[in-house]
Amino acid sequence: MALENFSMETGFIWTRNKNLSASKKLTISSEWLYRKMKKINNKTWYFRKNRYYPYILSFECTTMIIDGRSIANTILTNLREEIEKLSVKPKLSVILVGESPASLSYIKQKERSALITGIDFKLHQLSVDTTEKELQDLIYEINKNPSIHGLIVQLPLPKHIDTNKIIEAIDPRKDVDGFTSQNIGELFLGTADLISCTPKGIMRLLKESSVKIQGENIVMVGKSNIVGKPLSLLLMNAGGTVTVCNKDTKNVAEFTKNADIVIVAAGSPGLVKKDMVHPGATIIDVGFTLMDGKIRGDADFEALEPTCLITPVPGGVGPMTVTMLMENTYIATKSQIIHKNTKVS
């Protein structure tokens, strides 16, 4: 968070961050203020703990919410301008096996974003009893079609279908979800063009919210192949000091209390509580669970929002995941155009 016009006399701070919402008052200790101010301007603030302000400070600051929806809308608008410059119109194919209401809802979000950016969208909806071979044959057909630039298979798949085999059947050049072993391997090396959408979206959220990664202590709660593992690699490649916790980790709070950034993707509503993080930490909540008719994240938003920079659920990571899918489709299209032109010449 960018802090400006700090006054030692009044204890007031003003912030100008377009992605943070309306102003409210916070109460934070001088020890926390020292730590944050030192990060922002370590040539100016050298007072010791309790020397100047041995009491609790109250100051003005914006509500510390990372508005993923606003950031995503800006990216989609800019992406449309770039897509209009291409010599061909990008086309994204989505395969759905079955009629899961949740999957259909996610696909509708993707279709809306495709419409906004000018990407052609095609849904292939198959019956729930579709065989693994039938699904593979459709993927191979799409792989060979030069007019289709991006392909995703909506997960989860029915139990009788091997998810890993299906993902590996996708042409890595059209793998806009970034799930194939080739793209994951390139992510490991730091050379990937098509990066898993949720991890990529989180990295963009941190960048657009001016959250420093290099040299920071970062705790990743969750080790899934879709979020935890690829995101940990991205954070390490960006210079972060990353600790990964999972369901077998003893006393997760011991790790999160010392973290500058906590990213939670455990599928456990309200897992990260106020006493598990220090004031001023950044919380990225990837959780998405429907409970009693309400969508809940993995962090206790109401308790954490007054003192931490945090993503809401919904409206935080979700919109960015869909937006990064559109960006990956653009990247895949551009790459295939270049490859085709190079091959012709």
What CATH number does residue 183 fall under?
3.40.50.10860
pLDDT band at 113, cuts 50/70/90?
very high
Closest CA to 149 of 100, 96, 193: 193
**Structure tokens that stand for 247 in this block:** 């369901």
Same domain, 45 and 94: no
Distances (CA, A) of 88 to 47, 84, 159: 59, 9, 38
Q: What's the pLDDT at 95? A: 98
Quick one: pLDDT at residue 224? 94
Residues 313 and 232 in one domain: yes
Q: Which residues are tagged catalytic?
A: 110, 154, 177
Same domain, 174 and 245: no
Domain-embedded: residue 294: yes
**Measured distance CA(276)–CA(287) in Å, rounded:** 17
226 and 189 co-located in one domain = no
Residue 154 lies in a domain: yes
Q: What's the chain's length in residues?
A: 345
Q: Residue 340's pLDDT band (boundaries 50, 70, 90)?
A: confident
Which runs of consecutive H residues, i.e. helices, occur in the chain?
30-40, 68-83, 101-117, 132-144, 163-169, 181-189, 197-208, 228-237, 253-256, 301-304, 317-344
- Is the pLDDT at 124 greater than 90? The verdict is yes
Domain containing residue 28: 3-62
Rg of the chain (C-alpha set): 22
Q: Tell me whether the omega of the peptide bond preceding residue 319 falls within 30 degrees of 0, making it cis.
A: no
Same structural domain, 162 and 236 = no
Question: pLDDT value at position 311?
Answer: 96
Domain boundary among 46, 62, 78: 62
328 and 134 Cβ atoms separated by less than 8 Å: no
Nearest Cα neighbor of 217 from 262, 165, 166 is: 262
Would the pTM of this model clear 0.85, i.e. be above it?
no
Residue 258 domain-assigned?
Answer: yes
How many Cα neighbours within 13 Å face the side chain of 297? Answer: 26
What's the whole-number mean pLDDT along residues 237-258? 95
C-alpha of 316 from chain center = 8
Residues 7 and 58: beta-carbon distance below 8 Å: no
Name the band, by pLDDT with cuts 50, 70 and 90, for residue 55.
Answer: very low
- For residue 2, what pLDDT band results from cuts at 50, 70 and 90? very low
pLDDT at position 343, please? 62
Query: Could you give the percent of the chain with pLDDT greater than 90?
Result: 74
Q: What share of the chain is helix, strand, coil (3-state, %, to 5)?
A: 40, 20, 40
182 and 219 share one domain:
no
* Whole-number pLDDT of residue 342: 67
Note whether residue 326 is domain-resident.
no
Asked whether residue 91 is domain-assigned, the answer is yes
Q: How far apart are CA 279 and CA 308, in angstroms?
A: 6
Asked if residue 89 belongs to a domain, the reply is yes
Residues facing residue 121 across a β-bridge = 92
- Please tell me whether residues 188 and 206 are part of one structural domain: no
Domain shared by 146 and 217, yes or no: no
Mean pLDDT of 17-35: 40
Averaged confidence pLDDT in the chain: 84
pLDDT for the residue 167: 98
Q: Are residues 231 and 157 in the same domain?
A: no
Q: pLDDT by residue (tens digit) across 88-105? A: 999 999 999 999 998 999
Query: Quick one: CA dihedral 71, 72, 73, 76, positive or negative?
Result: positive
Reply yes or no on whether the pLDDT at 17 is more than 60.
no
Task: Mention every residue, 6+ apart, whose C-beta is less than 8 A from residue 66.
Answer: 19, 20, 205, 209, 284, 309, 310, 311, 312, 316
Q: Which long-range contacts (CB under 8 A, 24 or more apart) does 256-262 make?
A: 256/219, 256/221, 258/217, 259/217, 259/218, 259/219, 260/212, 260/216, 260/217, 260/218, 261/206, 261/211, 261/213, 261/216, 261/217, 261/218, 261/219, 262/218, 262/219, 262/221, 262/299
* pLDDT tens figures, 153-210: 999 999 999 999 999 999 999 999 999 999 999 999 999 999 999 999 999 999 999 9
